[in-house]
Amino acid sequence: MNDPVAIITGAGRGIGNATAIELNRRGFAVVLVSRSEPELAQTAKACRTALVVCADVTVQADVDRIVAESLGKFGRIDALVNNAGYAPMLSVEATSPDEFRKVLEVNLTAAFTLSRKCWPTFVKQSAGVIVNVSSMAAKDPLRGFAAYGAAKAGLNILGLTMAREGAPHGIRVHTIAPGSVETKMFRALVDEKTWPREKTLAPADVAAMIAGCVTGELKYTSGEVIYIRREPA
């Protein structure tokens, strides 16, 4: 296997789907990860070389399996895109401790555990790229995003710390923090009357930035948080 390999979580739709297609277009074999096998199958159809791994990134055994199957199929891992997300919009009073933990597990802890699992491979290769998909909510959250905003703020700091620790090993870690993106997850929370399409990014816009980090076009932004938003026309 000579093509570089990228693992993408949340790859069944939205930003993950667009990122898989963009990286595959740029010559990457892609490992497509999410809990929905039908959605992953649709993404795989749009890619030339893809491995589908139906998994829950909050389960350590599944994280281990993602990396094992990736190495078993391709013999290498060059990039990891931590894109899986969960964003309930709930008031502080309506957010139970269990719900708060769930938001952190999907958006923050899973990014750490999967990065940690890929880390020895990156160190052995003396190269690797991690891209964490954060959110504008990390610094300017909508009401109801206490848990989600806190998780993404933590992801920003995690990225900076990992970038500093990874630099001596040739590992880059980038954080992309988009504003509202035209996805099913966003539209489940906010309707078009409240937030028109003119104010949202397309998933492909974010995917292009992620691909730039992975391929090295934005290599000097390792450790930084890149905020992206679309101003209304």
Q: Find the Cα–Cα–Cα–Cα dihedral 162, 164, 167, 173, rounded to 10°.
A: 40
| Whether the Cβ atoms of residue 76 and residue 209 lie closer than 8 Å to each other | no
What SS3 class is residue 51?
strand
CA distance 29 to 78: 10
- Strand ranges for 60-185 from DSSP E: 79-82, 128-133, 171-178
Q: Which of 86, 148, 220, 227 is catalytic?
A: 148
Neighbours of 115 (CB within 10 A): 22
CA distance 5 to 50: 9
Burial of 2 (C-beta count, 10 Å sphere; 0-12/13-18/19+): exposed
Strand 50-54, strand 29-34: pairing? parallel
147 membership: H or E segment, kind and range: helix 146-166
Catalytic residue check, 220:
no
Which positions are catalytic? 148
